[in-house]
Structure 1
């Protein structure tokens, strides 16, 4: 059954899982375990949302069985057997409200395949088409696409990678749908119904439709596919007609642009760009103040080093004379350093103020039992605590 797996899916699955786990590990270690709470809350939220979906399916759908729509049930069981699925999921039909679709889901170990009524009606005279949709959704369950999503979640937002993994999964599931169909053309027509609609698909010229895949090599076509979770339908149809079919190469410049757009799932590249703007804005809001503090801290550190001689001279004067000098001049200290930094002395406590363009750095003395002076420092006017040199913040 390896031929049912799209060549790059397993590689992309491993990469996203490893990256996702590393990011979660970094978050857990970096937040001292707080991220574990977020992970647990995310799982609880997932269970709550899934419970609502499953309740909706069971409460409003029609379960397939030997007694209820036996023709569809027979096609479903045949497809399960073809895909060697020993444990059969529960299958339902749900009102699609005009949408041609189907989906697979799971809840606490129980698997479900849901066919929208519109797709079943559209394929009423095309049994292969129904089997294609069934096989496609069974493919998601057989390949465990619904497991480990939370662990991969941080990696799935990454540009190119998340979208590539999603497209690979869809291509794998198309192969599962093909395996349940009797012919490649039947599978291609089932996919084409998503384009042509519930009635027109029967009159579709399949070969002409497949040739449209040649239009996908342009810049914008390439870019929007690279940021999307589904390959273009024309490509999907061409691949089920011939699993080894070569597709037109994508624009290299499209990769460069897509590299900066986070994957946003079905919301598309537009939302991905909004996410990029948001992420850049958040990083800027954090990084710019941090960078400004860093540059100020570097300059203040230079002033701290430059005024070291002044503090030593004041300490030596106090130790030798057992009193505080009345001025800097008496202690032999200049009031201005070579770089323009100004020094001021408060004679009562021998507090030294180092005034820089960035703000004031204040040094406060303390004498030990032998009269030796040590200096502590704090921020003064114009200087924030985060801009103090590391030795002042101990």
Structure 2
């Protein structure tokens, strides 16, 4: 049964699992275990949401059995046997409200396959059309697609990677659907019903439909497929007609744009762009101020180091003469630092002011009982106390 697995799924499955586990470990260690509480909260939330879905299915759907819709149940049993699934999931039919769909889900160890009435009705005249949908959803369960999502979650939103893994899984499940059909054309026609609708699929020219896959080589079609969780239906139909069919190559430039768009699942590239804008906005709101604060403190730290000789010279002059020099020039000190900052002193109290690129830094002298001069560092014009570097604070503690 290994031939039912699309080769790329194996590779992408390993990559996403390894990266996901590394990401979780980083989150847990980096947040000192806070991520574990988030996981616990997420699990509780999952229980409530998933329990509501299962309750809706059981309370409003019709369970397939030998007594209830035996024709559909027979197709379900046959497909389970074809796929060598010994422990059969529970199968239900549910009002689709106009949607051609089916899905698989699980809850606390129990597995479910749900067929929408619209799919069943549309495939009424298709010899084994429903079988394709049953096989596709059984593929999700057989391949454990619903089990590893939590471990992979941190990396599934990554551009290109998350979407590629999702598309690979869908291709694998299409192969499972094909295995439950009597012919490749039957599988392709069942897929094409998602395009042509509940009636027109019957007269659809499958060969012509498959050829439409050649349209996917354009930039925008390539881009939107690269950011989507499903391959184009024309490609899916082509692959069930011939599992070894070579697909048209995508526009190479589309990869560069898609590499910047997070994977947003079924919501598509538009929502992915919104996510990107949101992430960039958050980073700008957090990282930019943090970077600016870092650069400010780095520049001020450099100024503190650069003025050390000046402060030593002023202290020595005062200790020896007991007077404040009239200016820096009076003690042969250049008032300009290497980065262009300007120094000046107050002749009355020997306060040294340094006008830096980020604001004014002020050094205030004080005389100890032993007659020694020590300096404290405070903020001046255009600076706040929070912007002062640690070296400035340590000076005040001396």
* TM-score normalised by the chain length of structure 2: 0.90
Change (3 A) 1:61 1:305: same
Give the alignment's Cα RMSD to 1 decimal: 2.5
8 Å CA contact 2:328, 2:345 repeated in 1: no
SS in 2 for 1:199: helix
- What is the CA–CA distance in structure 1 between the aligned matches of 2:129 and 2:374, rounded to whole Å? 85
> What is the deviation of 1:370?
6.2
- What is the CA–CA distance in structure 2 between the aligned matches of 1:117 and 1:21, rounded to whole Å? 39
Residue 195 of structure 1 is matched in structure 2 by 195
- What is the CA–CA distance in structure 2 between the aligned matches of 1:274 and 1:200, rounded to whole Å? 36
Deviations 1:184-219 (A, max 9, x none): 111111101111111111111111111111111111
> What is the deviation of 1:67?
1.4
> What is the deviation of 1:235?
0.6
What are the within-5 Å matches in structure 2 for residues 262-277 of structure 1? 262-277=262-277
8 Å CA contact 1:346, 1:352 repeated in 2: no
> What is the deviation of 1:42?
1.9
8 Å CA contact 1:324, 1:347 repeated in 2: no
Residue 146 of structure 1 is matched in structure 2 by 146
Change (3 A) 1:110 1:370: farther
> What is the deviation of 1:147?
1.3
Change (3 A) 1:342 1:268: same
What are the within-5 Å matches in structure 2 for residues 316-335 of structure 1? 316-317=316-317, 325=324, 332=331, 334=333
- What is the CA–CA distance in structure 2 between the aligned matches of 1:206 and 1:380, rounded to whole Å? 78
SS in 1 for 2:7: coil
Deviations 1:254-310 (A, max 9, x none): 111111111111111111111112222222222332333333333323321221112
Corresponding pairs, count = 392
Residue 253 of structure 2 is matched in structure 1 by 253
Residue 48 of structure 2 is matched in structure 1 by 48
Residue 343 of structure 2 is matched in structure 1 by 342
Select between 70-79 and 372-381 the one with higher mean Cα deviation. Answer: 372-381
- What is the CA–CA distance in structure 2 between the aligned matches of 1:217 and 1:258, rounded to whole Å? 15
Which 5+ residue runs of structure 2 have no aligned equivalent?
none
> What is the deviation of 1:375?
4.3
Change (3 A) 1:330 1:250: closer
SS in 2 for 1:198: helix
- What is the CA–CA distance in structure 2 between the aligned matches of 1:161 and 1:201, rounded to whole Å? 33
What are the within-5 Å matches in structure 2 for residues 292-331 of structure 1? 292-317=292-317, 325=324
What are the within-5 Å matches in structure 2 for residues 1-394 of structure 1? 1-317=1-317, 325=324, 332=331, 334=333, 336-338=335-337, 339-345=340-346, 352-363=352-363, 375-392=375-392
- What is the CA–CA distance in structure 1 between the aligned matches of 2:135 and 2:368, rounded to whole Å? 83
> What is the deviation of 1:329?
6.0
Deviations 1:114-172 (A, max 9, x none): 00011011112224111110010010011111112122122111111111000000000
* TM-score normalised by the chain length of structure 1: 0.91
> What is the deviation of 1:392?
2.9
8 Å CA contact 2:364, 2:377 repeated in 1: yes
8 Å CA contact 2:216, 2:250 repeated in 1: yes
Change (3 A) 1:389 1:118: same
- What is the CA–CA distance in structure 2 between the aligned matches of 1:86 and 1:393, rounded to whole Å? 71
- What is the CA–CA distance in structure 1 between the aligned matches of 2:79 and 2:222, rounded to whole Å? 34
Select between 114-123 and 283-292 the one with higher mean Cα deviation. Answer: 283-292
- What is the CA–CA distance in structure 1 between the aligned matches of 2:248 and 2:366, rounded to whole Å? 77
SS in 1 for 2:195: helix
> What is the deviation of 1:75?
1.3
> What is the deviation of 1:180?
1.0
SS in 1 for 2:292: helix
Select between 264-273 and 332-341 the one with higher mean Cα deviation. Answer: 332-341
